């Protein structure tokens, strides 16, 4: 891989160290979990060229503890790595402390079946890119996920029935209790609630919520709706908020007083 195989040079520190350090601190940090040294080096090179800071892990050891100490902007996880697979790490992150559980997660893996993609979604992934991949595509997908997860939708707070959806704080409250939701789950719920009463097809939801993320399919919407129902509905089998409109799609319904 030529120059990408060489370690990044350690240039002499310029006289104005403090502004350089401050600029580095402003960059978003991405944790990369990848045991293939060549792929890890390639990913790191292109992410840093795009303006991100990176921390590379050859296994899942220490990833969660490091993330709890210093929350990354995003995690790139290979599924098959030593010390426990990326699926299990994703599950642990989604069940961890408030500080990191909503961190965007992108899987990069050689597993290409729809079943693997759906499993990744159900565990809590925000995107899924298959190997071999173009480094430029990877960077574009990272940027897309970060844009989707960081841009707060409006209006800021929606209160309906026993739900409160605070877009700025990314906090979902159900019957007085704060409920954990991934960034994608939150954006999906907020989008549907903001357009209460309107029926959206699965393709319309994909365009509005996932935008340019390539791996999602209409079935992905069903997975996320099912997960949200488990979190907000008293009886997910008889939902009062997220209603299915047969032959069309989904509608958020405001409960009658």
Residue range(s) defining the domain that contains residue 214: 157-252
Q: Which H, E and C letters describe 1-69, residue by residue?
A: CHHHHCCCCCCCCCCCHHHHHHHHHHCCEEEEECCCHHHHHHHHHHHHHCCCEEEEECCCCCHHHHHHH
Are 102 and 121 members of one domain? Answer: yes
Are 49 and 145 members of one domain? Answer: yes
Are 136 and 161 members of one domain? Answer: no
- What CATH number does residue 226 fall under? 1.10.10.10
Rounded CA gap, 241 and 225, in Å? 11
Residuewise pLDDT in 10s, the chain (257 residues): 433 333 443 333 434 434 434 344 468 999 999 999 999 999 999 999 999 999 999 999 999 999 999 999 999 999 888 877 888 899 899 888 667 888 999 998 887 777 777 777 778 888 888 888 888 889 998 998 888 776 555 567 899 999 999 987 788 999 999 998 888 898 899 999 999 999 999 988 988 888 765 566 778 899 999 999 999 999 999 999 999 999 899 999 998 76
Are 162 and 241 members of one domain? Answer: yes
Are 49 and 168 members of one domain? Answer: no
């Amino acid at each position: 891989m030529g120059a990408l195989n060489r370690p990044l040079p350690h240039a002499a520190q310029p006289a104005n160290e403090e502004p350089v350090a401050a600029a580095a601190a402003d960059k978003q940090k991405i944790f990369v979990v990848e045991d293939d040294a060549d792929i890890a080096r390639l990913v790191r090179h292109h992410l840093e060229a795009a303006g991100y800071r990176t921390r590379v892990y050859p296994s899942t050891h220490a990833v969660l503890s490091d993330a709890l100490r210093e929350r990354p902007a995003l995690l790139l996880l290979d599924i098959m790595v030593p010390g426990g697979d990326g699926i299990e790490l994703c599950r642990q992150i989604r069940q961890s402390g408030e500080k990191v559980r909503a961190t965007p997660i992108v899987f990069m893996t050689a597993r290409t079946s729809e079943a693997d993609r759906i499993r990744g979604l159900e565990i809590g992934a925000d995107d899924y890119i298959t190997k071999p991949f173009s480094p430029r595509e990877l960077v574009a997908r990272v940027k897309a996920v970060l844009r989707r997860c960081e841009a707060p939708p409006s209006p800021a707070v929606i209160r309906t029935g026993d739900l409160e959806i605070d877009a700025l704080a990314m906090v979902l409250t159900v019957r007085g209790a704060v409920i954990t939701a991934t960034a994608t789950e939150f954006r999906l719920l907020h989008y549907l609630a903001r357009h209460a009463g309107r029926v959206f097809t699965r393709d319309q939801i994909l365009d509005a919520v996932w935008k340019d993320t390539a791996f999602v399919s209409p079935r992905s919407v069903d997975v996320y709706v099912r997960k949200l129902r488990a979190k907000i509905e008293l009886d997910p089998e008889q939902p009062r908020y997220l209603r299915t409109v047969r032959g069309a799609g989904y509608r958020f319904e405001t409960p009658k007083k």
